[in-house]
Structure 1
Amino acid sequence: MKIVNFCYYYCFLSGLVAPVTTLAQVYKSIDAEGHIRYSDASATLEKSETIVIPQIAPPTPIVPASPSEVEQPSKPDSEKSHPVTPQKYQSMTIIKPTNQSSTYGNEPVPLAIRLIPPLQSEHTIVVNVDGKKIAGPEAKTHFLLQGIHRGEHTITVQVWDKDGKQQIEATSTVYVFRPFIRKRALPKPSPQ
């Protein structure tokens, strides 16, 4: 498969280079005012000389190296001897929806979380609304919460490690209002 792709690549490049290598003659002429002009046609009124354009060599083929031929970068000694220890979270904030905010209708509620330091590998986030798990465990900090009906709701976000230990938690209260449509007032009938 790689050979076929390489052949297509080589033919494509050859097609780009071929027009350049098969140019017609190029002429250099100097007019009466001393301006130098280049053209593919010989100037009849002005003195012109033929310019020789050197041939362009075809590109050298690029052969991809096999994984065994590629030298793997070595890790520094500090990484080799010590496994990475997880950092303790300093803070966790629910950015959206902000605490005590309001939203309307049965629209999905976007949830964004800021963690300091950022979410670590092998850690997941669980989202609870009014004590009921509705999302997670997932290794992401943005969610779209579905099915939150009107009323006051407490959103609780928790970070858990791979051993099932809770690392940090944040809560936010959101108010969902029923969507409403204002009806236009009918015009009052004018007396006749």
Structure 2
Amino acid sequence: MRLILLLSLLSITLCSNAAVYRWVDENGKVHYSDEPQPNAELVEVKQNTQNTIELREAKIKSPIAPELDAAMETTITIISPTHEETIRSNEGKFDVTVSVAPKLLRGMFLALFIDGEIKAQPQTSTTFHLEGIYRGEHAIVVKALDQNGKVLASSSPRTIYLHQANLVKRPTPRAG
């Protein structure tokens, strides 16, 4: 059985070294074949012929790519209130101002998050006017979002303290 397999492999190897013939037809078109044709000449094929192609790394350029690169470099800084600032407002009103560098690109919006929850609708303005915020410690973060809500850049968290005065009427002692 092994002998038959060996002989069949040898015969395939010998057949694979077929010759290549080249000829030109009456219209001047060049043809190649492994079967001899009239007026065909034998083409010598080198065993070490290798076709190699070197591929360079392709860079895909799209009209959005420069904007995405700029968005990745965008930095957002909360200017006011300052870190660990105490804000005194009985109505829970205060403004948050941010700086965006280099600048806010078209299609980008700023969203204000307080304690992880969005507190202002995404906007292009760098000043947020807030009201109705309860007293206590709060973490503020401003994020740049694209039209689909994907976060492109984010500020560092800023801790603030909101103080609301509380007037408690104490009962007056009655005489008598």
Structure 1 residue ranges, 4+ long, deviating more than 6 angstroms after superposition? none
TM-score, with length taken from structure 1? 0.47
Aligned-pair distance for 1:178? 2.0
2:88 counterpart (91, 96, 104): 104
The aligned counterpart of 2:161 is: 175
Per-residue deviation at 1:107? 4.2
Q: Does 1:146 align with 2:131?
A: yes
Structure 1 distance, partners of 2:165, 2:104, is 35
Give the aligned residue type for 1:178.
Q
* Structure with more contact order per residue of length (Cα contacts < 8 Å, sep ≥ 6): 2
Structure 1 residue matching 2:105: 3-state secondary structure: coil
Partner amino acid, structure 1, of 2:164: R
Code of the aligned partner of 1:101: E
Q: Is the 8 A contact 1:124 1:136 kept in 2?
A: no
Larger of the two Rg values belongs to structure = 2
Task: State the 1:163 CA deviation.
Answer: 3.7
Aligned residues: 100
C-alpha contact (below 8 Å) 2:74/2:103 kept by paired residues: no
- Opposite residue 75 of structure 2, the aligned amino acid is S
Query: Structure 2: how far apart are the matches of 1:128 and 1:90?
Result: 18
**Structure 2 unaligned regions, length at least 5:** 1-61, 168-176
Partners of 2:136 and 2:77 in 1: how far apart?
Answer: 22
Residue deviations 1:143-190, cap 9 Å, x none?
111111110001111101124321111221110112368xxxxxxxxx
Amino acid aligned to 2:135 = R
User: Identity of paired residues, percent?
Assistant: 28
Q: Give distance in 2, aligned partners of 1:151 and 1:107.
A: 10
Partner Cα separation in structure 2 for residue 180 and residue 95 of structure 1: 29
| Letter in structure 1 aligned against 2:132 | G
Residue identity opposite 1:112 in structure 2: T
RMSD (Å), alpha carbons: 2.0
Query: Unaligned stretches of 5+ in structure 1?
Result: 1-81, 182-192
